[in-house]
Amino acid sequence: MRAIMDRPLTILGLETSCDETAAAVVRGRPGAPGEILSSVVWSQIRDHSPYGGVVPEIAARAHLVTLDEVIARALAESGCRLGDLDAIAATAGPGLIGGVMVGLMAGKGLSVASGKPLLAVNHLAGHALSARLVEQCDFPYLLLLVSGGHCQLLRVNGPTSYRLLGTTIDDAVGEAFDKVAILLGLGFPGGPAIERAAKTGNPRRFAFPRPLLDRPSCHFSFSGLKTAVRYQADAMDTLSDDDVADLAASFQAAVVDILKDRTARALRDSGAAGERLVVAGGVAANRAIREALADLASEAGARLIVPPPTLCTDNGAMIAWAGLERFASGESDPLDTPARARWPLVAE
């Protein structure tokens, strides 16, 4: 291991936990930004759009069909062969179990074929550590993880050390975006659709609730907000384009207020971690959310780090980097490591 640490590590990462089939090769060492040698993402949005959400069986079959090609492209674009790699990293959960199994089994097969160690990566750790792939970001730091399936505030103390400060008690924020977008006839995925509609809307037209605002905890709630949008839309009968834009803008403004309030409390409560605020996950691509959190960080004297949009949504590079961080500390996983539908970063 000492010999390995004397040089940068090269890791192949596979991601199949939801509706993106992804593979990437990264090179680097912990403590300094790494290099993304390749990153290939095959989106399944067209397959799932007619259903208004991700269909697990369709997702698993699509991963099975496309993953070999995605891996081959990632290796070719990186200029690496299997023998050039130090290890194989694959998402082992949490996520849609069929898709997770496809990627993890592929990772195990490549590990056996190449003789390289396997790293079974927690998908949430991929998001949590993605900032360290692109910027100097020392431990500890505060993480706001906002995605389709997760909404959490965590103190990140190390590659495998996390303390949960707050989580959603019902819907994840990305799920709320998706459901409101469907309700307003904006389609799937909901995050970009709501953001586009909100650009021309009046965010003050509808006074939607801000659940748990100013409560002493750092927890989130979005179910009541989503229901309030539905009641307002139902009460209006026929919605004009202006109505839809105003509903989207008012909903987005409420989400921004909730995220900013909860994160402000976590910054106060997180000690030294409050010096660095990392925002990751697909919802972090929303410009209004990013701008509000930038203002919050400035007010709190914290450094805001948001990975580029390509690293906020699901991708193989973040999985490769999370595997690299673990491998550099001497860790790897046995071939009988199971796929997991649920796998919290912090033990419940």
pTM: 0.94
State which of 184-188, 252-256, 278-282, 285-289 shows the largest mean pLDDT: 252-256
In which residue are the tokens 């921004």 written? 256
Alpha-helical (H) ranges within the chain are 2-5, 45-48, 56-78, 97-114, 123-134, 173-183, 190-198, 223-235, 241-269, 287-300, 309-312, 316-328
pLDDT in tens, 76-130: 999 999 999 999 999 999 999 999 999 999 999 999 999 999 999 999 999 999 9
For residue range 270-290, list pLDDT tens digits in order. Answer: 887 789 999 999 898 899 999
Residue with tokens 């056996």: 112
Q: Give the pLDDT of residue 5.
A: 60
Query: Which domains occur in the chain, in start order?
Result: 2-132+311-328 (3.30.420.40), 139-307 (3.30.420.40)
pLDDT of 140 over the 90 cut: yes
Residue 1 pLDDT > 80: no
What distance in Å separates the CA atoms of residue 77 and residue 190, rounded to the nearest whole number? 32
CA angle 290, 130, 321 (to 5 degrees): 170
Instruction: Please compute, for residue 125, the number of CA atoms within 13 A of its CA located in the half-sphere on the CB side.
Output: 28
Distances 60 to 47, 64, 169, 172 between C-alpha atoms, Å: 12, 6, 28, 22
CA distance 129 to 159: 7
Contact 149, 171 (CB under 8 A): no
Enter the tokens of residue 38: 């390749």
CB-based contact 191:174 (threshold 8 Å): yes
Q: 62 pLDDT band (50/70/90 cuts)?
A: very high
What are 36's strand-pairing partners?
Answer: 26
Q: Which whole number is the average pLDDT over 180-200?
A: 94
Measured CA to CA, the distance from residue 151 to residue 156 in angstroms comes to: 15
The pairs formed by 286-293 with CB atoms below 8 angstroms and a separation of 24 or more are 286/191, 286/195, 286/252, 287/195, 288/195, 288/198, 288/252, 288/253, 288/256, 289/146, 289/255, 289/256, 289/259, 292/256, 292/259, 292/260, 293/144, 293/259, 293/260, 293/263
What values do phi and psi take at 32, rounded to 5? -145, 150
For the chain, percent of residues with pLDDT exceeding 90 = 85
Quick one: pLDDT at residue 149?
84
pLDDT digits (tens, 9 = 90+) for 92-104: 999 999 999 999 9
Q: Is the pLDDT of residue 207 over 90?
A: yes
Q: Are strands 35-43 and 141-146 parallel, antiparallel or unpaired?
A: unpaired
